[in-house]
Structure 1
Amino acid sequence: MRSAWERRKGAPERGRQRRRGRAAATTAAVAALVAAPLGAATSAGAAEPRVDNPFAGADQYVNSYWSDNVEAAADRAGGSLGDSMRAVANEPTSVWMDRISAIEGNADGPGLRAHLDAAVAQKRAGTPLVFNLVIYDLPGRDCYALASNGELPAADEGMQRYETEYIDAIVDILDDPAYEDLRIVATVEPDSLPNLVTNSSEPLCQQAAPYYREGVAYALDRLHDVGNVYSYIDAAHAGWLGWPNNAQPAAQLFAEVVGSTEAGFDSVAGFVTNTANSTPLTEPFLEDENFGSGGFVRQAEFYQWNTDFDEADWTAHLYDLLVAEGFPSSIGMLIDTSRNGWGGPDRPSAESTSTDLNTYVDESRVDRRNHRGAWCNPSGAGLGERPQATPSGYPDSHLDAFVWVKPPGESDGASEEIDNDQGKKFDRMCDPTFNSPKLDGLLTGALPDAPLAGQWFESQFAMLVTNAYPPIGDGGTDPGPDPDPDTTAPSVPQGVTATADGTSVSVSWSASTDDTRVTGYSVLVDGEAATTSSTTSATVTGLDPKTTYEITVTARDAAGNTSAASEPVSVTTGADDGGPDPVEGACTAVYSTTNSWSGGYQGQVVVTAGDDGAPGWAVTAPAGLSTTNLWGGVLSGGTITGAAWNADLAPGASTTVGFVANGTAPADGPLACD
C-alpha cells in the first residue's frame, strides 16, 4: 500500500480546480431541506477571502431534517412544552458524516450535497452563511468506548478507505464551485486525539493511534485545499483533559499532528470543546479557592484535583497551552453548548453554606451528574446557550462561537444491545442500571430506552428543552429570520462613541427615532463582529494593548435584516489591563500568572518583537523562578530564551513561554527583554 505521503502527492490538486457543476436536487428529502426557514436563495458569487472568525457576521445553516423531528415532537407534546420545542426548531446544528454512506445519503437522512444545496438556498444576499459539518469516521473510531464504534478497522485497509472513499469523496463535493460562497466549518474527528492522551494503555487505542494521527493530518490537508473550509479539531472537555498532566500532553499532541500537515498551522482555524458532552459553560457559584481545613475546592471528590471546573476554564487553559506550543495567537475556540445548560428545578440558585467541602461542592455545582466522566445520555441535562458568534464575557477563552455540534435529541448510544450494520456496539456506560468502575462504582445516570448513537431520542429532547438554561425565551440568540422576511433594513445607529480603559473599550450609540423594529445591535471591531447587545451600549474586552481600532455598530430586526454600519470611530487601547507599560527594548515581555495553588503556580511570559524584529531575544526571568516544566522556551541562569522555532521573532510578532513552578507566584508585570 502507498504511504500517506505518496497518496497526498499523487492526488490531483483540488484547491483551485472546480470540475463539477451543481447536481440537481431530485429527492423529497432535498426538497424539504431547501424549504428550510432561513429565507430566499441568492445567486452564487465569487468566493470571499478567508476571515479570522467564520461565524462573525454570518448566519448558520438550519438543518430542516432535524427541525422536522423537533416540530413533530412539538406536535406530540402539545401545550407549553410543545411551544418551547418549536421555539428552538430553527436553531443551527451540525451535519454529521458518521459513515461513508452518509455522504450520498442513507436511512438516517439526506446526503452531503443535498444539505449543501439547501444551505445555498438559505443564504441571504450580502450575508455569509456557515455550514457546520462533522468529520467522523476514522479507522478504529471511538477506541475506548463502544457506543460510537465505526465501520473502518484500525488497519492499512481501513486507512485506505478512509482517505479515498470518505475524505476524498467529501472534498470532491465541497470543492464544487456551487458551494464556494459558503463558509464551511468542519469539526474534525470528535474524541480521537484526546483518546491518545488519556487512554494510551488501552490496546485498541494503541492499535488505532497511528491511524488517528495520519487520518486527522490527511483530513486537515485535504479540507484546507478546498479554500473555504475552516477546520476545528476536537479537544474533548474540561472533565477529560483539564488536569495539567493531561492538558499539556494534549497541546503537544495537537501541535505534533498539525505540524505534520503540509499546510501546518494554516490547516486549522481552531479547536472545539465539549462536543456531544454536557460539561457546563460556567460554574457560577464555584471558584478554586481555599476552603479552609477541607483544602481547595478542586480537592472535592467531584473535581478530583482538576482546576478546570467548566468549559470557560478549559478553553482559556487550552488557548494558553496551544499558543505556547507555537499556534498563532489568532487561534479560535468553539464550545458545543447543545446539552450543557443544566437548568430546571434542580439547578442551584445560590452558593452552598455547608462547611463540609464535598457537601458544599455538591450543593453549589450546576453540573448534576454523579461523576464528570458520565457521558452517555446524562439524565437532568438541558439545552445550553443558543448558537451565537463571538459571545462576550469570556475574553481569555478567545471564543469564535457557541455551536450546537451535537443536534439535541440525538442519542449518544443504546441503553441495551441493538443489532445494527453501522459498527456501533453496546456500551455499559449507556446502561442506567450499571455501576461503572470508570465512575468510581457510581451509576451511569444514563437515560433508559435509548436508541443507537445518532438516532432521534425524543424523551431526551423533551428533557433537554425542559431543563434549558438559559430557559427557552430567556437568552440565546434570535432563531433566525422568518421564511418571508421584511426586506427593509433597520436604520443605521447614530452618535457612536468609544472610550478605552486598558484593553477594554466601552461603546455607546443611539438609534433613529423612527426605527421601532430594532431588536438588537452588533459592535464591529475593524469590520468584524466583536459582541452583541440588546441595549444601546456594550463593552468589548480582550483587545490588544496600545492598539488603534475602528469601531462601528449595526442594527438588526426580528426578521434578521441588518442595517449598514454606522460612521466609524477610532479608539486606542492603553497598556494591558491598565497596568504599566512593558520595559522598552528590542522586544517587550509581560509576565502573568495563569493559575496558582498552595505551594505552586503556573505562569506565562508573552514576548513581542519591536519594529526591527527580535533575533535571538532574551528575557530576564521572574525573580527566583525555578522550574523543570517549561515550554515554548529555555530557562538558563535566570534568563529565558526562545526554542528553535521561536528564537527569532519578525517585526511585531509575538510568542508565549509557559511554565509550572513551585513557590509563590510573582506579581504580574513587565520584564526586561532584549
Structure 2
Amino acid sequence: MFRIPKRLLAATTAVVVTLPLTLMSTANAAEPHVDNPYAGAAQYVNPTWAASVEGAATRASDPALAAKMRAVKTQPTAVWMDRISAIAGNAAGNGLRFHLDNALTQKQSGTPLVVNLVIYDLPGRDCYALASNGELPATAAGLARYKTEYIDPIAAMLAEPKYQGLRIAATIEPDSLPNLITNISHPECQVAAPFYREGVKYALDKLHAIPNVYNYIDAAHSGWLGWDSNAAPAAKLFAEVARTTQAGLASVDGFVTNTANTTPLAEPYLPNSSLVLNGTPIRSSTYYEWNFDFDELDWTAHLHSLLVAEGFPASTGMLVDTSRNGWGGAARPTATSTSTNVNTYVDESRVDRRNHRGAWCNPLGAGIGERPQSTPAAPAASHLDAFVWIKPPGESDGASTDIANDEGKRFDRMCDPTFVSPKLGNRLTGASPGAPLSGHWFESQFVELVRNAFPVINGGGNPPTDTIAPSVPAALQAGAITNTSVALTWTPSTDNVGVTGYDIYRGTTLAGSSSTASFTATGLTASTAYSFTVRAKDAAGNVSAASAAVSATTTGTSNPPGGCKVTYSANSWNTGFTASIKLTNTSTTPLTNWRLTFAFANGQTVQQGWNAVWSQAGSTVTATGNAGSWNETLAPGATLDMGFNGAHTGTNNAPTAFSVSGQPCTLG
C-alpha cells in the first residue's frame, strides 16, 4: 500500500471530548444533513482504546512517558467493523451498539458528536496484501453475506431513532477501490474487482439513506495514487461507482486519505515539488519517483480538483488520517538540506523517515501526528473537513511473523522486518518486530508513536497543551511591533502558552521573524497600505493560527531591500525557450524575502522554473525564494542562478525592466 505545505500549516488546539457525569436522555432530535459534519462538533472517544492506553501508561516505568500517554487517551479514534462478528462484539472488542450507546453519553447538549466508523469487510478484502485479508471470499456467496449479514445489520442499527442525534462518519472500505487502479493486474484483484464495485455501491446506498450518516470513500494516499497516471483514473473510478448508486454522486459526502498509513501531512523542508536542483527536478529523486504529491496536503488538493472535474460538487470534503504521520523525534530534520545531490537533498530534508514510501506495515520511527480537529487551518485547495484518527495509534498493521488465526488474516512479508522487498527497491521493509495480527494492540509501537509525536505531546494535562492557541501573542499587543516606516496596532488577546518566536506575514510572504516583539519588514513602499498577520511559535516548533489581519500605511521614506543587478539571457527554439537569470545583491545588507518581478511584452508564458518559486499573472512574472529554504536570503555580493522553461508564439523579446520588492534593479 501504498508538501508543512507551500506555506506553514497552522496548528490549533486539539478537539477534546468531555465525558458527562450523568447519562443523557436517549431521545435525540434529528438534524438536517450538513455539508461538513465535523464543523462545530466533538468526536467520539472510544473507551476500549482509551483503556488500552491507560493500561500502557500504568505499565510505563517513565512517569513523563506515562503522562504523555494519558494526555492522548481522550483523543477520538474510529471504531472498525472488520468482520461480521464485530457488529455484535467479539473477543477482540465491544460491538457497534456498545459504541453508539457510549456516544450518547458523551454527547453534550448543543454540541454535535461525530462517531467515526470504518466499514471494512468486502469480499476478497485487501486483494494485494495479506496481513488484512478478510473473512468473505470474492464470490457471489461472499457478496450476498456482505449485504445481508454485514451491511444490512449495520444500517439497521444506525437507523434506529435513538441514534438519529449522532453524526456517523463512515469510512468506506479502505484500500479497496485504490487497488483496482494500481493492482488490477494481480489475479486476486481481478477476481475481486466486480465485488468491490458492487459492495461499495451497496454500502453507499444503504448508509446514504440514513440522514445522519456521512459517507467518506477511502482514497489511499499521496505515495500510492499521487502520480497523474494513477490520480486521474482513481477520480474517474470513484465517480463511476458513485453514479451507480440510487443517489448518484450525492451518495458521497467526501473522501478520506492516509487511512492507516504514515504519509506526512506536510513536508515543511520540501515545500515545492517543482524545485529543480542543478538542473534536476527533486521529484525525480529515488524517494519520490517523479510524483508531484509529496504529502497529504498536496494529495487532497490534487484529488479534489480531479473529483470536481469528474462532476463531484466543490463542497466535497476531505479527511486526513493523522494518527501516525507526525514523524517527530530525534531523526526529524530541522532544516532543508544544503546538498547539491538530488537524492541526498531529498533524503536529508524529508520528515518521512521510511526508506521507501511503499513501506506501510508498522514502520519504525513513526509518531503520532496532528490531533483530531474540525475544519483545520490548511490550504483552501485541500478542502479539509477534519483531521481524524481512523487508525487508532497502537493497533498493529499486521503480524511480523506467521500467526494462526480465525480472522482470515495471512502473513505478509511486508510486515517482516527481516525481509528485503522487491516492491521497495530491494530494501528492508523497515517494519517493527514483535507485531501481533492487524488490529490487535501493539504496545511497543504505541510507546514509539508517543515518543515520536509531532506536534510533541505534553503530559499531565487535559486538554493537552502541545499546540499554540490561535490568537495574537500577548507580547505583540498594542503597538509592540515597530518599524521605521510602519506602525501596527494589535487587538488585545490572550496567549496561553510559552512563545519563543514570531513570524510576521504580508499576504503569504514572510516579512520578518523575531524572538522579541520587534520586527523590521523590508521591501515596503512609502505611503502604501499593507496588511499583516502574525504567527507565534513554541519551542517544539508548533505554529499558531494567524492573527486577524491588521492594516497599516507606511509613512516617511521607503524601506528598500538594497541594490540589485539582474542578468537575463534566453535560448529559443520553435515555440519554446529556456531563460536564465542571475540575481546579484549589490547592497551591503542581506536581501531577505526577496521578490523579483518583470513583464513580458510578447505574451510569453512561464512553464516550469527552478531555484525559485515562479508565478505569472497576465504579463507579469514573479519569482521568490522558498520560505525557510536556502534561497530565501541573498547575502551581500551573492548571486543566485535561477531560470525557467517558457513558451512563446514567435516573438520572444527579453524583459527590459526588473525590480526586487518594488525597487528597480540594474541590468547586467
Same fold (TM > 0.5): yes
The corresponding residue for 1:549 is: none
Q: 2:73 matched to 1:63? A: no
Matches within 5 A, 1:351-500: 351-473=336-458, 478=463
> What is the distance in 1 between the residues matched to 2:275 and 2:251?
42
Maintained 8 Å contact 1:388/1:477: no
- The aligned residue for residue 8 of structure 1 is none
Name the amino acid aligned to 1:289: S
| Equivalent in 173, 179, 184 of residue 200 of structure 1 | 184
Take 1:246 and 1:164, find their aligned partners in 2: how far apart are those partners? Answer: 33
- Listed as ranges, the matches of 1:303-382 within 5 Å are 303-382=288-367
Aligned to 1:73: 56
Q: Secondary structure at the match of 1:226?
A: coil
Q: Percent same amino acid at aligned positions?
A: 65
Q: 2:263 corresponds to which letter in structure 1? A: T
Residue in structure 2 matching 1:186, options 151, 160, 170: 170
**Aligned partner of 1:92: which letter?**
P
1:52 maps to amino acid: D
Task: For residue 394 of structure 1, report the CA deviation from its aligned partner.
Answer: 1.9
Instruction: Tell me which amino acid in the other structure corresponds to 1:148.
Output: S
Q: Could you say if the C-alpha distance between residues 539 and 382 of structure 1 is closer, same or farther in structure 2, counting changes exceeding 3 Å?
A: farther
- The 1:111/1:299 distance shift into structure 2, 3 A limit, reads same
Alignment partners' CA distance in 1, 2:491 and 2:95? 46
Is the contact made by 2:604 and 2:647 (CA closer than 8 Å) also made in structure 1? no
Corresponding residue of 2:7:
none
Shift in alpha-carbon separation, 1:540–1:451, aligned structure 2, 3 A: farther
Distance across 2 between alignment mates of 1:294 and 1:48: 56
Query: For residues 634-653 of structure 1, what are the structure 2 equivalents within 5 Å?
Result: none
Q: State which of 257, 280, 289 in structure 2 corresponds to 1:295.
A: 280
Structure with higher RCO (Cα < 8 A, 6+ apart): 2
Q: Distance in 2 between matches of 1:302 and 1:45?
A: 50
Mapped partners of 2:462, 2:430: distance in 1? 30
User: Are residue 86 (structure 1) and residue 70 (structure 2) matched?
Assistant: yes
Whether the 8 Å CA contact 1:388–1:403 is kept in 2: the answer is yes
What is the aligned counterpart of 2:33 among 50, 67, 77? 50
Q: Report the TM-score, using the length of structure 1 for normalisation.
A: 0.67
Pair 1:234 & 2:234 matched: no
- Secondary structure, aligned partner of 2:209: helix
- Secondary structure at the aligned position of 2:278 is classed as helix
Q: Following the alignment from structure 1 to structure 2, what is the Cα–Cα distance between the partners of residues 539 and 115? A: 47
Distance, in Å, in 1 between the alignment partners of 2:462 and 2:341 is 39
Q: Deviations over 1:532-588 (max 9, x none)?
A: xxx9x99999xxxxxxxxxxxxxxxxxxxxxxxxxxxxxxxxxxxxxxxxxxxxxxx
Question: Is residue 38–residue 62 contact of structure 1 (8 Å, CA) maintained in 2?
Answer: no
Matched, 1:278 2:282: no
Judge conservation of contact 1:62–1:91 (CA < 8 Å) in 2: yes
Q: Distance in 1 between matches of 2:20 and 2:336?
A: 42
Give me the whole-angstrom Cα distance separating, in 2, the residues matched to 1:266 and 1:302. Answer: 37
Cα distance in 2 for partners of 1:249, 1:214 equals: 18
Residues 1:162 and 2:146 aligned together: yes
In structure 2, what residue type is equivalent to 1:165?
E
Structure 1 residue 268, shift from structure 2 partner: 1.1
Question: Deviations 1:427-464 (Å, cap 9, x if unpaired)?
Answer: 00000000001001000000000000000000000000
Give the whole-Å Cα distance in 1 for the aligned partners of 2:188 and 2:34: 39
Aligned residue identity for 2:252: V
Which SS does the other structure have where 2:273 is aligned?
coil
CA shift for structure 1 position 477? 10
Tell me the amino acid that sits aligned with residue 361 of structure 2.
C
Shift of 1:264: 1.0
Give the C-alpha shift of residue 46 in structure 1.
1.6
Q: Which runs of 5+ in 1 are unaligned?
A: 1-34, 481-506, 521-534, 542-596, 600-622, 626-662, 667-674
User: What's 2:200 paired with?
Assistant: 216
**Whole-Å separation in 1 of the counterparts to 2:20 and 2:401:** 38
Counterpart of 2:422 in structure 1: which amino acid?
Answer: P
- Paired with 2:462 and 2:200, the residues of 1 have a C-alpha distance of 33
Equivalent in the alignment of 2:115: 131
Residue in 2 that maps onto 1:569: none
Q: Deviations over 1:140-189 (max 9, x none)?
A: 00000000000000000000000000000100110111100001000000
Q: Equivalents in 2 of 1:55, 1:288: separation in Å?
A: 31
Q: 1:235-255, CA deviations, whole angstroms, 9 ceiling, x for partnerless residues?
A: 000000000000000000000
Matches of 2:229 and 2:107, distance apart in 1 = 44
Q: Cα distance 1:297–1:40, how it changes in 2: closer, same or farther (>3 A)? A: farther
Moved more, 440-449 or 72-81: 72-81
1:546-565, aligned counterparts within 5 Å?
Answer: none
Distance in 1 (CA, whole Å) between partners of 2:383 and 2:247 is 23
Instruction: Note closer, same or farther for the CA distance 1:85–1:135 as it changes in structure 2 (3 Å cut).
Output: same
Q: 1:652 maps to what in 2?
A: none
Alignment coverage as a number of residue pairs: 476
Report the residue type matching 2:219 in the other structure: A
Going from structure 1 to structure 2, the CA distance change for 1:38 and 1:114 (only over 3 Å counts) comes to same
Q: What TM-score comes out, normalization by structure 2 length?
A: 0.67
Residue 226 of structure 1, CA deviation: 1.2
Q: Does the 8 A contact of 1:392 with 1:540 survive in 2?
A: no
Letter in 2 for 1:328: P
Aligned partner of 1:486 in structure 2 is none
Larger radius of gyration: 2
